[in-house]
Amino acid sequence: KPRGLSGRASRIKISDLLVRTKRRWVFYTIELEEEMKVKYPYFISKGQDFSFEITGEAVTEGYLTINGTTGEVFALKPIDREKYDCFHVIFDVYDTETNQKIDKELAFDVEVKDINDNPPRFIEFPQTFTVSESQVEGYLGVQVIAQDMDEKNTKNSTFNITVIKQTPPVPKIQAKWIDEITVHLTFTGCFDYEKAKEYNITLEAKDHGTPPLSSTEIISLNVRDTNTHMPEFKKKEFQTEVHEMKLYRDVFRFPVEDKDTPNTDGWRAKFFFISGNVEGIFKVETDPKTNEGIFSIVKVTTFFSVRENP
């Protein structure tokens, strides 16, 4: 698709450019006899024959050429403004009879008009990130940056970044503007690991050009479980009998339930005696695999009957 010089604007006349650049040519003096008795209109001179030549990067790169006879300048192929936003073109005018320059070196600029052919694209964002279940409402700790390669400070290069979709939908995640290319992801509400362990957030960057162009990216958010649930005994009473003067390993076990993520610090139970073990006869440990409490007798005693109500 042509850019800058296209369709109707693909031809330029040198004579027009001379006016715009406030240049003028000085010709030789034409003599006329006063009060001539001739039939009017009377021929006194004819235009001198000229040839035109242009030079510059636009010519060497094959974008512009000139009709050496008429002085009309033509665009030969589409121009990408992101590569060339302006060409400085130098032209010379020659007398075809003497092949001498008629004027000093003249020049004109060809500015390539921008069209909206670049969507804004995300250049800095995390594909995945993790937040704690207990994260405080507000900033998520995620920064996103986008960029549009069209002409700066125009509708074609200004854009919005928004969250157009998230699953699941709660808590609500939004994009907060920091500057013209940067947003921070924020949220209102709270995360619940038991309800949702992962989120997919779809971001869109859309410019203000006509027609508007856009691009999207998906960010994955993982929720890290925290210690939000207390362990609970599955039984409220345990009873056993043992022989005196003996040590016993694993007399019985306390099964517990904890709804936090298995094999995490928030899930792993710790057991304590709050009464009845002043002499240190008993010991309770945690099975690292099952999270059960293991009750043992570690000190010889003469007689006892154990009845624990944790």
Query: What are the pLDDT digits (tens) for 116-128?
Result: 999 999 999 999 9
Q: What is the pLDDT of residue 228?
A: 81
Distance CA(213)–CA(127), nearest Å, equals 22
Instruction: Give domain 7-111's CATH superfamily.
Output: Cadherins (2.60.40.60)
Give the model confidence (pLDDT) of 208-224 as tens digits.
999 999 999 999 999 99
The residues facing 293 across adjacent strands are 254, 286
22 pLDDT band (50/70/90 cuts)? very low
**Residue 46: pLDDT over 80:** no
The structure tokens listed for 254 are 């306390």
Question: What are the structural domain ranges in the chain?
Answer: 7-111, 121-224, 232-308
Q: What is the pLDDT of residue 103?
A: 67
Q: What is the pLDDT of residue 128?
A: 98
Place of tokens 């693909």: 10
For the ranges 39-53, 160-174, 180-194, the lowest mean pLDDT is seen at 39-53
Query: For the residues of 41-53, what is the DSSP string, one character each?
Result: S-----PPPEEEE
Q: Who contacts 152 (Cβ-Cβ below 8 Å, separation ≥6)?
A: none
Q: What is the pLDDT of residue 59?
A: 94
**Residue 104: pLDDT over 80:** no
> What are the strands, taking DSSP E only, across 194-310?
198-207, 214-224, 232-233, 238-240, 248-254, 256-257, 282-286, 293-297, 306-308
Distance CA(163)–CA(207), nearest Å, equals 15
**Residue 171: pLDDT over 90:** yes
**Residue 295: pLDDT over 90:** yes
Instruction: Give domain 232-308's CATH superfamily.
Output: Cadherins (2.60.40.60)
Predicted TM-score of the model (pTM): 0.65
Check if 121-224 and 232-308 are the same fold.
Answer: yes
CATH classification number, 121-224, choose in 3.40.640.10, 3.10.20.600, 2.60.40.60, 1.10.3720.10: 2.60.40.60
260 pLDDT band (50/70/90 cuts)? confident
The dihedral over CA atoms of 167, 168, 171, 174, expressed in degrees to the nearest 10, equals 10
> Is residue 15 within a helix (H) or strand (E), and if so which, with residue range?
helix 14-20
- HSE, CB side, 13 Å, CA atoms: give it for residue 2: 13
The structure tokens listed for 86 are 């302006």
Q: What is the pLDDT of residue 18?
A: 44
138 or 110: which leads in pLDDT? 138
